[in-house]
Amino acid sequence: MNAAVRGVVRTADALGVHTLGVEFGYRGLIKDRMRELDARAVSGIIQLGGTILGTARSEEFRTPEGRARAAANLKGRGVDGLVVIGGDGSFHGAQALSDEHGIACVGIPGTIDNDLGGSDFTLGFDTAVNVALEAIDRIRDTASSHERLFFVEVMGRRAGWLALYAGLAGGASAVLVPERPTDIEAVRERVRGSFEMGKTFCIVVVAEGDDAGGAYGIANGVVEGTSLDSRVTVLGHVQRGGPPTMRDRVLGARLGHAAVKALLEGQDQIMVGERSGQIIRTSLETAWTDNDHDAGPLLELIDLLAR
């Protein structure tokens, strides 16, 4: 997110546009927590994880009264347009603010789940995948040394993209995601077959939103009635931190620049994203209604290669 903040601020500064940073998201809008940002204020942040502005949920912003206060604060400071970095919840809020109070809003897709339409990848996804992949690589050393079965749980309540990419890149024996019902017996047979073929370890990557109940429950079901020696590792919020990858830094810069250009061209209720290497614009609503990412091909490839 810091790369995107930097991209927004420096693009605006170069074009003579005054920029304010809102602290802690919509909660900050309601509490009028804004500060001036110029090119020097965002110096040295591109390599930092998280966001220098902070982020927080706001139940008050879900109400018409909360949005009215937020809009009054923006208008009181002479703000003409708002760049919102976030996921579908943030974009729902941006659309409501625009509809009710005429604040022009442009969204930048920022979520490690990669579960939004209108962009091949969302900001933060590549970094989170690489954090998970590094953990899987380290676990493989222990798994192979002790001839063990490891279950690694990654984030993803409604979408399994983190698990899919980390599992494919990490050579997992199986990847379990919300997009496909989990067959415990099939997982057991695949793992057992792998060991019988001479593998010295197996790694199963599980998205936290898998329908079988998470890594611990799945591990118990898979090893039941077998002599398999298993361990479970839950990565949790470690995936949300750390220095962003090159891919996320470049994507943040490009999307921040594109968001400012869109606002200056009079755009409203749109999201800037990346498709096939090109920056595109789609409606904010597309983000939560038209997620055309298809997990099927990756699942088929993982099944084929997991031998």
257/137 Cα distance (integer angstroms): 35
Q: Residue 248 phi/psi, 5° resolution?
A: -70, -35
Contact 49, 32 (CB under 8 A): no
Q: What distance in Å separates the CA atoms of residue 74 and residue 101, rounded to the nearest whole number? A: 10
Among 88, 113, 248, 268, the active-site one is 113
3-state secondary structure of 205: strand
Among the residues of the chain, which ranges form H helices?
A: 2-14, 25-30, 64-76, 88-101, 125-146, 161-169, 184-196, 214-223, 246-264, 284-289, 296-305
Residues 6+ apart with CB under 8 A from 63: none
Would residue 113 show up in a list of annotated catalytic residues for this protein? Answer: yes
Query: What radius of gyration do the chain's Cα atoms show?
Result: 22
Tokens of 11: 């693009």
* Inter-axis angle of helices 64-76 and 88-101, nearest 10: 70
State the catalytic residues: 113
